[in-house]
Amino acid sequence: MPVDTTYDYRAVKGFALSSLFWAVVGLLVGILISLQLVYPQLNFGPWLSYGRLRPIHTNALIYGFTVPAAFSIFFFLVQRLGRTTLAFPGTARVLLWVFNAAIALAALSLFAGMSQSKEYSELEWPFDIGVVVLWVVFAIIIIGTIVRRKEEQMYVSLWYILATIVGVAIVYIGNNLAVPVSLFKSYSVYAGANDANVQWWFGHNAVAFVFTTIPLAVFYYILPKSTNAPLYSHRLSIIGFWSLIFAYLWTGAHHLIYTPLPDWIQTVAIAFSIFLIAPSWASVINGYGTMKGEWGQMRSNYLVKFIILGITFYGLQTLQGPSQAIRAFSALIHYTDWVPGHVHMGTMGWVTMTLSAGFYYIFPKIYNTELYSIKLANLHFWLVLVGQLIYSVTMWITGIAQGAMWQATNADGSLKYSNFFETLTPNFPFWNMRTLGGIIFLSGFIVFVYNIIQTVRKAPAAARA
C-alpha cells in the first residue's frame, strides 16, 4: 500500500519559477556582452561596461539559475525518493525569499564594481558569508528530509545531491577566504601562484559540484522515471560516483598550464583530467544502456530527447575537456575562444537541457496538471540545440584560428602576426555568429518559459498555491 504522504511543493514551485527569471536575465546579459565584444560603443558608462557585465552573466547563471533550479528539483527529489515530506518546509519558503533578495543585491554589487576578481566567485565578502549561510540552511533541509526517509537504501540521485552539498561548501569556503578592508572591499588571504591554484581548484570544482553533480542527480532520476525503464546499472553508478568526486579535485591546475605554477601540479591535473573520462562516461553508458529497447521513445516521448541530448553533450564535454588539458593542445587553445566554446557546450548543452527536462517532468506533477504544449517543447528543443551548436562550433573555429595566428612565424622565425590586432579583428564575424547562436538559444528558452507559465496558469486553483 503506497505510503500516502502529502508532499510539500511550495518551495519547489518558488525556486523553479525564480530560477527561470534569473536565467532569462543572465542570458540577456550574455547577448549584450557578446555584442559588446564587436561593437564597443554598446559599453554604456561604468555600470554597463563589459568588465562589469561578464561577471553578472556568469554569476546570474550559476547562482541565479543553476543553484535555485537545483534547490527546486532537489526539494522534489528528496521527497519522492525518500517517500516522505519535506523537512522544515517553512524554512524552505523563507530561504526562497532570502535567496532571491541576495541574488538581486549581488547583481547590484557587481554592477557597482564590487569584485574579488576571482572568476565565478567575484562576489565580495558579505555575499560570501550570505551564500554560505543560505547553503547551510539548504543542506539542513535536504539532510533533514533524507534522514527521515521511508526508503532505507539511497538511490544514486541522492548521492549526487549529498556530494553537491559537501563539495560546494568545501570549495566555496576555501576560495573565498579574504581579509576585509571595508564593507565593499577585501583581499584574498592567498597570494600569487597559491591564489591562482586555489582559485582554479575552486573554479573547476564549481564546475564539478554545480555543473556536473546537479544535472547528474536530475538525469539519474528523470531518465528512468520518464521512460519507465530501469537504470542500466546502479552498481556502475556507484563506481562512477566515487571515482568522479575523488578525481575532480585534482584537476584544477589544467586551467594553469604553462603558468608559473609548479609543473608537477599541472601534470597531476592533466593526468586526472584524462582519468575523469572513465567516471563521466560511466553515467553516459548508464544513459544509453537504460534506453536499450526504448529508443523509440526518442520520437514518442518529447522529454527523452532533452535527457539523451543532455547526456550526449556531457559525454562530448568530458572528452573535449581532457583533450584540451594536454600541454600540446593547451599551448594552442589556452586563452583563446576555444575555451568559451567548450564551456558553453557544457552549460547550454548538458546543464540547461537536463535541467529543462527536470522542470518538464516535475511541473505537471507539482501543479497537478498536464504540460501546456508538447509542440512548444519540441520547438524549445530545436532552438536550444541549434543555438548551442552555432555558439560552440564558431568559437572552436575562431579559437583555433587565433591560437594558430599567435603561434605563426615567418621563415626567419619572427612572428607572422606580430600586431595583436591582426589576430583580433578576424574574430568579429565569428563573434557575430555567436551572438546569433545566443539569440536563437534565448528564443528557445523564452518558448520554454512561456510553456511553463501556461502550464501553471491552466493548473487547478488549489494546486497553484
Partner 1 sequence: MTVQQWLYFGFTALLVAVLAGIIVYYFRRKRKDRLEQPKYRMLDDDK
Partner 2 sequence: MNVDKNPVIFIILAAITILVGTLITTFIPLFAGITAVSTENIRPYTALELEGRDIYIREGCNNCHTQTVRPLPFETARYGSYSELEDSAIDRPHLWGSKRTGPDLARVGTKYPAQWHYMHMKSPQSMYKRSNMPPYPWLGDRKLDTRYTAKKMKVLDYPFPGKDAKDLDGKTEMDALVSYLMRLGKEVKGTP
List of residues contacting partner 1 (CB under 8 A): 2, 4-5, 80-81, 83, 151, 153-156, 221, 224-225, 228, 230-231, 233-235, 238-239, 242-243
CA dihedral 421, 424, 428, 429 (to 10 degrees): 100
- Partner whose binding site includes residue 201, from partner 1, partner 2, none (CB under 5 to 8 Å by kind): partner 2
Rounded Cα gap, residues 435 and 441, in angstroms: 10
Applying CB under 8 A, does 262 fall inside the site for partner 2? yes
Helix (H) or strand (E) holding 313: helix 302-325
- Partner whose binding site includes residue 25, from partner 1, partner 2, none (CB under 5 to 8 Å by kind): none
CB of 127 to partner 1, least distance (A): 37
CA 149-152-153 angle, to 5 degrees, is 120
- Partner whose binding site includes residue 4, from partner 2, partner 1, none (CB under 5 to 8 Å by kind): partner 1
Tell me the DSSP string of 419-430.
Answer: SHHHHHGGGHHH
Applying CB under 8 A, does 410 fall inside the site for partner 2? no
Applying CB under 8 A, does 104 fall inside the site for partner 2? no
Applying CB under 8 A, does 277 fall inside the site for partner 2? no
Which of residues 89, 130, 340, 364 is near partner 2 by CB under 8 A? 340
CA dihedral 146, 149, 155, 159 (to 10 degrees): 10
CB of 393 to partner 1, least distance (A): 36
Which amino acid makes up residue 319?
L
Place of cell 556536473: 212
Which of residues 12, 269, 282, 366 is near partner 2 by CB under 8 A? 269
CA dihedral 152, 158, 162, 168 (to 10 degrees): -170
CB of 157 to partner 1, least distance (A): 8
Which of residues 97, 129, 177, 194 is near partner 2 by CB under 8 A? 194
Site size with partner 2, rule: CB under 8 A: 94
Which of residues 401, 406, 432, 439 is near partner 2 by CB under 8 A? 406
Applying CB under 8 A, does 295 fall inside the site for partner 2? no
Rounded Cα gap, residues 207 and 347, in angstroms: 10
Site for partner 2 in 370-399 (CB under 8 A): none
Contacts of residue 104, defined as CB under 8 A and 6 or more positions apart, other chains included, come to: none
